[in-house]
A and B are shown apart, each in its own frame.
Chain A
């Protein structure tokens, strides 16, 4: 299926958010996730089923003021 990850279109085989993160190269990274604008806690990623066209945001620590 095709999903949008941080605004870019990706084809993924994974069915849930946890597997999609692995597939996209985020394995072991400190990130926070949201799907379609809703926060998905790390503990819930495995059960978070993805469907075609979902918008996934993957955020990490960054400089800030």
Chain B
């Protein structure tokens, strides 16, 4: 079981709700993924169109938990205010905290992130910080009261998978007890399986599913990959080595020269 802030989830796949071809495909993809936690956001609502109201009723109908994000926030103030607004609208103190430092890579501003996390933890939020694999940033976030970390695999929407394997492995090794969710950059199910095989507790996927030719089929493929990766981790993968080792026993082989 995946345990995030005292809540147990069976599925280790977290799914974003953005960029699907239609609301019905989003709904079917959520079901096919088996996820129990989806990310959502807040945007300006028009009094005439009230587009957000329809979206919210679709999400409520799915019967899954929501994790509101602070996507697009570049300052601590913006992120904290957005988190406060999200808590009221979505009725949850969970927040995926994003403080973006740079627009080309959407790399987290870890300095602002730590500051915002500290403020939000004091206000009773359960913070899921979107961070890098930086060990010291992770340490500071934990000191600020975060009990989950969400390191990036690679830049948001890039589909490049686990960009810094060494760094991610070091993060996993350094904080063995902290739930770690690889967030961002996962492009194909094998990337997700790899994250789980390395001992990461879960992955958060959005674009790889929503922008697939068949998002529902891809959601199912990710569900299988995540399950396989976790099962492999629990089964204890072999250590890679540089030279061949015969898998068939050599002893007792016939001498036929």
Contact = CB atoms under 8 A, between A and B. Distances in A.
B69 A57 contact: no
Contacts, number: 115
Interface range on chain A: under 10, 10 to 19, 20 to 34, or 35 or more? Answer: 20 to 34
Interface string A16-35: 00000100111001111110
Most buried by B among A34, A42, A57, A61: A61
Given A58-B45, A64-B71, A65-B206, A39 B56 contact: no
B51 A63 contact: no
A6 interface: yes
Interface in A8-65: 21, 24-26, 29-34, 37-39, 41-42, 57-65
Interface of B, secondary structure class, is: mixed
B45 A29 contact: yes
Interface string B194-216: 00000000001011000000000
Nearest to A27: B47
A22 to B, nearest CB: 10
A42 B46 CA distance: 18
Nearest to A58: B45
A24 B16 CA distance: 31
B88 A42 contact: yes
Interface range on chain B: under 10, 10 to 19, 20 to 34, or 35 or more? Answer: 35 or more
Contact of A62 (B20, B43, B84): B43
A62 B204 CA distance: 18
Contacts of B131: none
Nearest to B91: A30
Contacts of A57: 44
B45 to A, nearest CB: 4
Contact of A30 (B19, B43, B89): B89
A61 B81 contact: no
B161 to A, nearest CB: 17
B188 interface: no
Contacts of A6: 44-46
B119 interface: no
B35 interface: no
B85 interface: yes
Interface of A: 5-7, 21, 24-26, 29-34, 37-39, 41-42, 57-65
The 7 closest A-B pairs by CB, nearest first: A60-B52, A64-B41, A25-B47, A65-B16, A32-B85, A60-B45, A65-B206
